[in-house]
Structure 1
Amino acid sequence: MAFHLQPLLCLFLLTIKSLAAQTTLFHGALLLLPVTKDVETLQYTTQLLMGTPQFPTKLVVDLSGQSIWVNCAPSSSSRQFISYGSLPCLMAKSGAQRTIPAATICDIHQENPITGAANLGDLAEDIVTFDGIGLLTTVDNFLFSCSPDYLLKGLVNGAKGMLGLGRSKIAFQSQLVNNLDIPRKFTICLSSSDGFIISGTGISNSLSYTPLVSTHGGGLDQYYVNVNSIKISGRRLVLQPIGGVKISSIVPYTTMKSTIYGIFTKAYIKSATLLNMTMVAPVAPFGVCFSSQRVVPDIELVLQSELVKWLIQGRNSMVQVSDSVMCLGFVDGGLDLNDSVVLGGYQLEDHILEFNLGTGMMGFSSSSLLIEGNSCSKIRASVSRPTELL
């Protein structure tokens, strides 16, 4: 009798495990934001429904952004400005006080990292709605700052501002944590087509983890990971300690300080020559280009140990600029670059990144999902079928 029941028991346990996994995915999908890449500006955008009446608001996704800033036209009947000295103002790390007739408005710093333009914006709150798997989630007192028209310069056509995902108290995911009582984590998967952001949960159990670190030059609200060394085709580059590498959704391609870029490209060309790759004239903004071929050198970022590596291969290392030419998707940031290395959007695509702000760790798929026949687009389609807003 026990022998015959054993297969049934195994089937029951597998069914329970499967249902538990589905429940986890469903919970996260309630807070799924679609992310789309613009082919001209290479910016990643999402959309919120803001105000009364609800107005579709296209925003550029900024992993390092401290807040959400929006060009506040058209007007909303439910929008309210936050007074100077109030708790929300203190939480937002308000800047200098500014007085307007009959009111004193909280001012906070807002910046366009694409153009470098910055100013103080009026802090406001309004109704914001997120469209998940056919189920609307609404927050009544979502905080953001109002920007002038000129701050929109450099953003993709139709964008009304930026959605910040940094570690500040009024960044997007921090406000979701405070208003919806969800875990302090979010997952982002960028794509050349259909990516996504999921707040409050992870979507994979097969990630590598590395600590998020702070740097002296970088802001505390930004995301850095420690890189001990870089390898090309398994050979370690002779470099000074790299330290904190910034993770950015704004920089299109990984950018290196000139001293590092020179050593990096020299080693890459050497490895490419061994694979019989033929160099051709560079195509801006890239400094190293080749005749197209299938096999290219692998790049490894060695993090806290030799066991924790970020593998950059094929699609994430090479940019196809024409039918016959491909270029190494890394650019020279000059000698005055604030960070030694900024890991850009192209290298992040089709990698799962899970930012756990509670533990101070970042989980990541150490190799591209494409190698496994998967992609961010496929995961987004399997997790949910959100109403397409973009």
Structure 2
Amino acid sequence: MIKLTSSWLYLCYKIASNSTPLSQLLTLPMDSSSLLLLSFLYLSLPISFSLKTNALVSPTAKDPATLQYFTRVYQRTPFVNLNVVLDLGGRYLWVDCDKGYVSSTYRPVRCRSAECSLANANGCGDCFSKARPGCNNNTCGVSPENPFIRTSTGGELATDVFSLPSTDGYKPGPAAKDPQFIFSCGPTFLLKGLANGTSGIIGLGRTKVAPPEQLASTFSFQRTY
């Protein structure tokens, strides 16, 4: 299900075909901003949706200052709601871990682990400061990127709880939770140029650790992208 309005859009991470026409599930009008946002997504829409199968939804909006699209996700224990900028070609989710990252379920991904291989990590890293999220020894190193300022840097690969609201197509459902969602920590300076109030970038690229791929695997969703 995708519900479009003039200012807010709801994006599905699962779309399954059944007998309900697409036209009955779209709320129009679809303005140019809506069309542009849809072009960011590599999900290919089937001609109909299943209303009996749960889908994951995330509110998405356009920042008028930067013209970037951002969405809201839930992460950590206890949950923190984060606004993150959409990047069609991004490889994974990365968030700022320098500024107040507190979570009892944060786990750094160790070198030569299965998660490390999935992310095609580019090496092992050590940190010579006090251990904290984003700064641990013998961890997988990746390169979180901000394409808006054409900058990338080193980051620690990690896992933590990740959640999105669900729906049956008619009404909101319970939150769906992935307890070991793979993402990358990034430094605060990498937020430069992003929409005000955002905490990182959510990548929608075709990688094994991109959020749509992880969620499809965790919740046994059919891969339709």
1:25 to partner: Cα distance? 4.0
Q: Which amino acid aligns with 2:142?
A: I
Match of 2:71 among 43, 46, 51: 46
1:88 partner letter: E
RMSD of aligned Cα (Å): 2.3
- What secondary structure does 1:175 align onto? helix
Report percent identity of matched pairs.
31
The equivalent residue for 1:86 is 113
Deviation at 1:29, TM superposition (A): 6.0
Matched, 1:175 2:200: no
Which residue in 1 is equivalent to 2:59? Answer: 34
Equivalent pairs counted in the alignment come to 170
Matches within 5 A, 1:195-206: none
1:113: which partner in 2? 147
Q: How far apart, CA to CA, are the structure 1 residues paired with 2:53 and 2:65? A: 31
Structure 2 counterpart of 1:129, from 153, 158, 163: 163
Give the direction of change, closer, same or farther, for the CA distance of 1:63–1:95 in structure 2 (3 Å limit).
Answer: same
Shift of residue 68 of structure 1? Answer: 0.5
Q: Aligned partners of 1:79 and 1:121: how far apart in 2?
A: 15
What's the offset of the Cα at 1:178? 1.6
State the Cα deviation string for residues 304-348 of structure 1 (Å, max 9, x = none).
Answer: xxxxxxxxxxxxxxxxxxxxxxxxxxxxxxxxxxxxxxxxxxxxx
Distance 1:82 1:156, change over 3 A: same
> Given residue 145 of structure 2, which amino acid in structure 1 is its aligned partner?
E
Q: Per the alignment, in what secondary structure is the counterpart of residue 77 of structure 2? A: coil
TM-aligned CA distance change 1:28 to 1:40, over 3 Å: farther
Q: Is residue 2:186 matched to residue 1:147?
A: yes
Q: 1:28 & 1:36 partners in 2: Cα distance?
A: 25
Change (3 A) 1:129 1:17: closer
TM-score normalised by L of structure 1: 0.41
Which of 1 and 2 has higher RCO (CA within 8 Å, sep 6+)? Answer: 2
| Change in 2 beyond 3 A, CA 1:26/1:34 | farther
- Structure 2 residue identity aligned to 1:120: G
Structure 2: tracts of 5 or more residues without a match: 1-17, 26-47, 129-135
Q: How many Å apart are 1:132 and its aligned residue? A: 2.9
2:188 is equivalent to residue 163 of structure 1: no
TM superposition outliers: structure 1 runs of 4+ over 4 Å:
16-19
- Unpaired runs of 5+ in structure 1? 1-15, 186-355, 357-390
The one-letter code of the counterpart of 2:86 is: V
Report the secondary structure of 2:61's partner residue.
strand
CA contact (8 A) 1:168 1:174 kept: yes
- What is the alpha-carbon distance in structure 2 between the residues aligned to residue 152 and residue 62 of structure 1? 13
Could you list the per-position Cα deviations for residues 61-120 of structure 1 after superposition, in whole angstroms to 9, with x for gaps in the alignment? 111001110012321111110001000001100112212368301111210000011011
Partner deviation per Cα, 1:249-301 (whole Å, 9 max, x = no partner): xxxxxxxxxxxxxxxxxxxxxxxxxxxxxxxxxxxxxxxxxxxxxxxxxxxxx
SS in 2 for 1:156: coil
Structure exhibiting the larger radius of gyration computed from Cα positions: 1
* 34 and 100 in structure 1: CA distance in 2 versus 1, 3 angstrom threshold: same
Contact 2:125 2:137 in 1 (8 A): no
> One-letter code of the match for 1:122?
E
- Please state how far the C-alpha of 1:28 moved relative to its aligned partner: 6.3
Task: Quote the Cα distance in structure 2 between the aligned partners of 1:47 and 1:129.
Answer: 10
1:1-390 matches, within 5 Å, as: 17=19, 24-26=49-51, 30-72=55-97, 73-100=100-127, 103-133=137-167, 134-135=172-173, 136-185=175-224, 356=225
C-alpha distance 178-48 of structure 1, shift in aligned 2 (>3 A) = same
Task: Tell me if structure 2 keeps the 8 A contact 1:95–1:120.
Answer: no
CA distance in 1, matches of 2:67, 2:181: 28
TM-score normalised by length of structure 2: 0.70
Contact 1:81 1:124 (8 Å CA) reproduced: yes
Question: CA offsets, 1:43-69, max 9 Å, x none?
Answer: 101011100110001100111001110
SS in 2 for 1:31: strand
